[in-house]
Structure 1
Amino acid sequence: MKNDIIKFIDSRKFSSFDMSLVILGVFLITFTGYAAPAYGSVIPMLFKEWTDLNWDQLGYVGSLSEFGSLFGALVCSIVARKYGIKKVLIASVLIFCAGTFSLALSPTIEIFAICRFIAGFGFGGVIPLVISLLAEYAPKNNKSRSVATALCGNQFGAIIASFIAIYVTTQFDQWRPVFWMALIPVVLLPYILKTLPESALYMMKNNDVEGLKKVLRKIDPDYSSSVNVEEALKSFTIKEQANTVSYKDLFGKKYALISVLASVIAIMGLLFINGVIVWLPGVMTNAGYALGSSIAFTIFLCAGTVIGAIYWASVADKKGFVVLMPSIYIIGSVSLLLMGVKSNIIILYILITLVGFFLFAAHSLVNAFIAQHYPDDLRTIAIGLPNAMGRIGGLLGPTVGGLLLANQVSVMGWFMVFAGTGLIAALSFILINIQSKKAYSIDYQG
């Protein structure tokens, strides 16, 4: 949309407002990204408390969080269009915190499983809404980096969860305190409410002049010299059906293939991420490594992901996604496959760091790619769809990992399965590139 407010937001330099929004995004995703690795880290302790458990059951319990996330991403993306991103995002965070903290109070594995579903619903709403806000407010030449940096919160959460799990499980022989961290966002809720802006597009649709001025003033105190809010709103035009945009709009002739392939990429991405994050400590323990060393693999994995996500996002902002995405998916998948080769622990630490730097970091860029591939009025649901469909992969990841362990598949076979999903994602990106090239050729000739 060629609106003065949108142009003002897109064309300016990265500011302290953007930095605070990215930091808040990192913070929110850190605590929503805490639950899955925390669960994976305490699995050996769950066997001690509930002695009738088996690998299959814990795989299903791990998947329930993703099942909840599927609904959370779908529902929250639609509801946010009516009530605003800020309100729905805050509600999603609170639902996640309540569900995760309740894990520490669960008397049975059944109650534990229900709490993971509830936490998953909240988690499912947080990521697409945070990404939508960042994609909307970040300057045009910094959108990929802002989104990818915020998504590093998943890895920060995993690193924090791993360190806390190592300390709590080894020092106190307890698993319940690992989930107490979920209360931190609740304690900091006043700060979140004060810092988090409402979507500018939502305020424009609702003619919220004062709300827009308040946000623009935070962006640049001298904004009025560049944009007249009242005049911009008067000239603001958007197709009338935009208020009733639905997921079917993503499957018109122009966007159908990319919507399908983006969903495939998201499914494959969350399949290998959740499968590896949840089961990596268990797989390495089964391979003969001590629990503390096995949890350390998760720390190296997440550290590599953080560095890779920020680095590759910078490359994407300058060079684009066309060659970048298939390449880093393929290199990361090969690195994951090599994890199955018997080696010394130093080489394995290097390999798992490379898996994070390439394969896991690649998935962090998917949302940035999607956010920039659709028009403003479709952005929220365009991000919501693959994030919702991706939960199918997230649902399958812990289940597939658990079934492979339960059926005593070799370590090489286990890593081959998850490396294969990364190669499917790479192939999907290649197909998107081919389709986009054809579409560009048609538009150019037209």
Structure 2
Amino acid sequence: MSPDTSHGTAIPSPPRTFRAVAPVIALCWLVVFFDGMDVNIYGAVMPHLLDDKGFGFTASTAGTIGSWTTFGMLIGALGCGTLTDWLGRKPMVTGSVALFSAGSAVCALAPSAAVFGGGRFLAGLGLGGLMPIGLAIVAEFAPPRRAALATGLMMTSYHAGGMVATGLGLALGPDHGWRVVFWTGVIPAVIAVPLVLKWLPESPAVLFAKGRTADASAVAARYGLPEPTRAEAPAAGAKGRFAAVASLFAPGTRAATPLLWVASFAGLLLVYGVSTWLPELMRASGYSLSSSVTFLMVINAGGIVGMLVAGRAADRFGAVKVSALWFVLTACGAFLLRAHLPLGVAYALVFVTGVWLFSAQVMVYAAAPSVYTPGQRATGLGWITGVGRTGAVVGPWLGGAVVAGGNASLGFTTFAAAAVLGAVAISLVPLVRRNTGHAPDVSGNRMGKILPEH
């Protein structure tokens, strides 16, 4: 049980099961669903944007604007930690959803490509802050031995949102235009924000750091969490933030940290490069417009299956092993897509590639808690996410450069090479950890608890 420090009595704690924390996971699932919808809307309407001759979009312009979005996400991911320390996790979630909804409205109203790009950058700020906070909340509240499964379960929402975005592009884009599709991106502010404000609990560690120890104990008791301690609380002030980052390069983690960053970079390059450019790459390979857009829905369907499979496999075999294998299989799938295959075979190959591609990246996040000590994990996860966003910036730009060159085969080869880079980086983490003699097991069967990320 968890003690109530404000009254000197003990409050019985319910067991930390999926049933006990279901409302928290469900709310995070919902906001990440809208995150996935907003990210994938751009790729879903890309063919219509390029065909809108009056708007002045080219493949090169589209790739650049895609990178503006992910550059905003990079800033959002790195900046959300300090803002979370000041404001709390619930305000950051609601603010992020409101921000990317506002960005979608700007895109729907944009009179020019430049204004449209500003809207995507604004949306990126909200999207970048939301994802790492959602991951941290779910991992903090999930049962410790099911942290990877809970992470994978939540991330199925991202791909469900991607499938809905693709469906909206197919249903609304041809007859009503791309602007109507972006207006649907305002829906999250109407639905998710009120629900989060009413039902999402604040992190006990954040409450503890803000001096609200009684509230921290109450939340911990309600959801069966351990009492937060000073070591687990977010570091205070700029000096504390610097010390937390510096600790990632202390003996025992200094070699593993850059490897995790590289793996995250490669994974997010794949996620955002493929999400933005898969329809155009498939169209350049000779498939019809409708079939090319449908491929985006198919790969996201594979992503949903992959999250569930990878989560269970990681809880049993270790997140590092699963991530490395999934990266290798992604490389194989991307390389095989270079060929113009029969439509049914192509759909099947895109589906299984989606099974591996998206969850390879998520398992990098799931590996972080077993690399870092409790006092390092929150900052470590934040920087893995933030630095990885540079891959999200490079992916759309790189895809645009390849498409502008008219060589779809080179695009798939480029994505395959990124997957190989991710596999090598994550595979080296256990080796460097063994060489330092550090205690946490990064390749074992059990996942540690991910502390709140900020």
Q: Which residue of 1 aligns with 2:451?
A: none
CA distance in 2, matches of 1:190, 1:217: 25
Q: Which residue of 1 aligns with 2:24?
A: 21
CA distance in 2, matches of 1:10, 1:258: 36
Query: What are the superposed Cα offsets for residues 162-204 of structure 1, whole Å, 9 maximum, x if unpaired?
Result: 001000023x241111122222222222211122111111122
CA distance in 1, matches of 2:75, 2:178: 28
Query: What are the superposed Cα offsets for residues 253-276 of structure 1, whole Å, 9 maximum, x if unpaired?
Result: 222222211111111111111111
Query: What are the superposed Cα offsets for residues 399-423 of structure 1, whole Å, 9 maximum, x if unpaired?
Result: 11111111122x3222111011001
CA distance in 2, matches of 1:390, 1:216: 31
TM-score scaled to structure 2, two decimals? 0.87
Question: Which of 341, 344, 349 is the equivalent residue of 1:343?
Answer: 341
Whether the 8 Å contact between 1:168 and 1:175 is mirrored in structure 2 is yes
Pick closer, same or farther for the CA change 1:164–1:120 going to 2, 3 Å: same
Q: Which residue of 1 aligns with 2:445?
A: none
* 3-state SS of paired residue (1:342): coil
Q: Does residue 1:418 correspond to 2:415, yes or no?
A: yes
**What's the offset of the Cα at 1:70?**
0.7
Range moving further from structure 2, 279-288 or 295-304: 279-288
**What's the offset of the Cα at 1:87?**
1.8
CA distance in 2, matches of 1:111, 1:16: 45
Range moving further from structure 2, 43-52 or 178-187: 43-52
Whether the 8 Å contact between 1:300 and 1:353 is mirrored in structure 2 is yes
Whether the 8 Å contact between 1:245 and 1:378 is mirrored in structure 2 is no
Letter in 2 for 1:26: W
C-alpha RMSD of matched pairs (Å): 2.6
Q: Which residue of 2 aligns with 1:436?
A: 433
CA distance in 2, matches of 1:78, 1:371: 20
Q: Which residue of 1 aligns with 2:273?
A: 275
CA distance in 1, matches of 2:147, 2:430: 20
CA distance in 2, matches of 1:168, 1:269: 31
Range moving further from structure 2, 284-293 or 332-341: 284-293
Q: Which residue of 2 aligns with 1:301?
A: 299
Q: Does residue 1:155 correspond to 2:159, yes or no?
A: yes
Range moving further from structure 2, 296-305 or 243-252: 243-252
Where does 1:74-89 land on structure 2 (aligned, <5 Å)?
74-89=78-93
* 3-state SS of paired residue (1:340): coil
**What's the offset of the Cα at 1:13?**
3.8
Q: Which runs of 5+ in 1 are unaligned?
A: none
Q: Which residue of 2 aligns with 1:201?
A: 205
**What's the offset of the Cα at 1:384?**
1.7
Question: Percent identical across equivalent pairs?
Answer: 26
Q: Which residue of 1 aligns with 2:251?
A: 253
Q: Which residue of 1 aligns with 2:450?
A: none
Q: Does residue 1:31 correspond to 2:34, yes or no?
A: yes
Q: Which residue of 1 aligns with 2:118?
A: 114
CA distance in 2, matches of 1:295, 1:396: 22
Whether the 8 Å contact between 1:78 and 1:381 is mirrored in structure 2 is no
CA distance in 2, matches of 1:264, 1:182: 31
Whether the 8 Å contact between 1:335 and 1:352 is mirrored in structure 2 is yes
Where does 1:357-376 land on structure 2 (aligned, <5 Å)?
357-376=355-374
Letter in 2 for 1:261: L
* 3-state SS of paired residue (1:34): helix
**What's the offset of the Cα at 1:339?**
0.7
Whether the 8 Å contact between 2:74 and 2:390 is mirrored in structure 1 is yes
**What's the offset of the Cα at 1:428?**
0.4
Letter in 2 for 1:23: A
Whether the 8 Å contact between 2:205 and 2:216 is mirrored in structure 1 is no
CA distance in 1, matches of 2:402, 2:337: 16
Question: Which of 70, 92, 98 is the equivalent residue of 1:94?
Answer: 98
TM-score scaled to structure 1, two decimals? 0.89
Whether the 8 Å contact between 2:80 and 2:92 is mirrored in structure 1 is yes
CA distance in 2, matches of 1:182, 1:52: 22
Whether the 8 Å contact between 2:85 and 2:234 is mirrored in structure 1 is no
Whether the 8 Å contact between 2:14 and 2:222 is mirrored in structure 1 is no
**What's the offset of the Cα at 1:237?**
4.4
CA distance in 2, matches of 1:278, 1:178: 16
Range moving further from structure 2, 184-193 or 97-106: 184-193
Pick closer, same or farther for the CA change 1:129–1:161 going to 2, 3 Å: same
CA distance in 1, matches of 2:362, 2:101: 23
CA distance in 1, matches of 2:30, 2:251: 38
**What's the offset of the Cα at 1:325?**
2.0
Whether the 8 Å contact between 2:299 and 2:350 is mirrored in structure 1 is yes
Whether the 8 Å contact between 1:10 and 1:138 is mirrored in structure 2 is no
Pick closer, same or farther for the CA change 1:350–1:260 going to 2, 3 Å: same
**What's the offset of the Cα at 1:210?**
3.9
Letter in 1 for 2:424: L
Query: What are the superposed Cα offsets for residues 101-132 of structure 1, whole Å, 9 maximum, x if unpaired?
Result: 22111111110001111110111100111111
Range moving further from structure 2, 331-340 or 284-293: 284-293
